[in-house]
Amino acid sequence: MNRDLPGNNSENTGVSDGSSNPLFDSLVELIRRTSAEIPDDVRNALVAALESEKKGTIAASALTIIERNIELARQKSQPICQDTGTIIFYVTGPVGQDQVTFEETAREAVRFATKKGYLRQNSVDSITGVNDGTNVGPGAPTIHFHQHRSPTVEVRLILKGGGCENVGAQYSLPIEKLHAMRDLDGCRRVILDAVLQAQGKGCGPGILGVCIGGDRASGYELSKQQFLRRLDDRNPEARLDALEQDVLKTANELGIGPMGFGGRTTLLGVKICAANRVPASYFVSVSYMCWAYRRQGVTLDASQAIAGWLF
Ligand code: SF4
């Protein structure tokens, strides 16, 4: 978890150029690519969506503009969207990994990438509203650390847009007015309700990350982790796989379409997990990702240089 909470005064204030620091260089390159390049699976889904829309419709032209925007950002190595979004690192490393140094380096890498223009200056003090132009502050960036019994270090990064974050929703089942009971049909009803409520807001076509169960905090957190999955993967849990396919198909028959302009592409994907819950609670947490689905990841070698890309 991010340790930069109020009261922690360990913040470095200078912006390093990271010279002779392979981890810093690796993280800056990860940030640059994540901000400027949509992963192939997302791009393929957008191309397929464009092909499925009727030519000459507003939906087709919205998707064409999105496609051009993506290509321009990649060519110019510039941010895909003016909304940097929440910067979320997921780090998986060996037992004993120096998380303090990693976090300090990640914060410096975010500062540097912002100064270089790889990230728009888009993080403000929540009390004063002041933007200090660094994208770094209490709780920003967010870093989740996990350990595994392997020497490998994997770093994944998601830039989670704010507009799409606003249309995420959490449901506490049962909900009578939606006829949503505490079962998978009830889950299906509330997930589709979230899509209906969004009506293309949050820069659709969207991708849903859903967690069935957990508590209010872990449910949302696990729903966001679904965005680390590729769009073209399949859920190994057969019931969740069926629910994912069903919600995707049904949502795309609602006619909401890209940006709510109507059409066949309301969602590009649905990813669902389940977590244990206490018997008293039954939460369904729905996180919504916009078309600017910025997700990349790297493996690092022993010197902490980039050894390979994960997406
Ligand atoms: S929701 Fe996504 S596409 Fe919309 S402004 Fe934010 S990052 Fe950009």
Q: Which residue has the tokens 């028959």?
A: 253
Give tens-digit pLDDT for 214-256. Answer: 999 999 999 999 999 999 999 999 999 999 999 999 999 999 9
Q: What are the sequence ranges of the domains in the chain?
A: 22-35+80-161+294-309, 163-289
pLDDT of residue 8: 37
State whether the Cα torsion 64-68-70-71 is positive or negative.
positive
State which ligand 1 atom lies nearest to the alpha carbon of 85: 7
Please, what is the Cα angle at 16 between 137 and 6, to 5 degrees?
20
How far apart are the C-alpha atoms of 291 and 257, rounded to whole Å? 12
How far apart are the C-alpha atoms of 266 and 198, rounded to whole Å? 10
> What 8-state DSSP symbol labels residue 175?
B
Evaluate whether 147 touches 93 at the Cβ level (below 8 Å). Answer: yes
Checking if the pLDDT of 6 tops 70, the result is no
| Residue 159 φ/ψ, nearest 5 degrees | -105, 110
Strand partners, 159: 87, 294
CA of 165 to the centre of ligand 1 (A): 9
| Ligand 1 atom 7 nearest Cα | 161
Q: Residue 233: count other Cβ atoms within 10 Å of its Cβ.
A: 12
pLDDT of residue 18: 57
Average pLDDT in the 117-128 region?
A: 97
The percent of residues in the chain predicted with pLDDT above 70, rounded, is 94
State which ligand 1 atom lies nearest to the alpha carbon of 81: 8
Instruction: Quickly list H helices, the chain.
Output: 22-36, 40-52, 58-76, 99-116, 162-165, 184-198, 216-225, 238-251
How far apart are the C-alpha atoms of 180 and 286, rounded to whole Å? 15
How far apart are the C-alpha atoms of 89 and 31, rounded to whole Å? 10
How far apart are the C-alpha atoms of 264 and 209, rounded to whole Å? 20
The first and second tokens of residue 310, run together, are 């994960």
pLDDT of residue 4: 40
pLDDT band at 20 (very low <50, low <70, confident <90, very high): confident
pLDDT of residue 46: 96
Amino acid, single-letter form, for residue 275: A
User: How far is C-alpha 23 from the geometric centre of its chain's CA atoms?
Assistant: 22
Give tens-digit pLDDT for 178-213. Answer: 999 999 999 999 999 999 999 989 999 999 999 999
| Residue 41 φ/ψ, nearest 5 degrees | -65, -35
State which ligand 1 atom lies nearest to the alpha carbon of 159: 7
How far apart are the C-alpha atoms of 50 and 174, rounded to whole Å? 37
CA of 203 to the centre of ligand 1 (A): 6
Q: Which fold has domain 22-35+80-161+294-309?
A: 60s Ribosomal Protein L30; Chain: A; (3.30.1330)
Ligand 1 site residues, Cβ closer than 6 angstroms: 81, 83, 85, 161-164, 202-203, 290-292
How far apart are the C-alpha atoms of 255 and 142, rounded to whole Å? 36
How far apart are the C-alpha atoms of 291 and 265, rounded to whole Å? 11
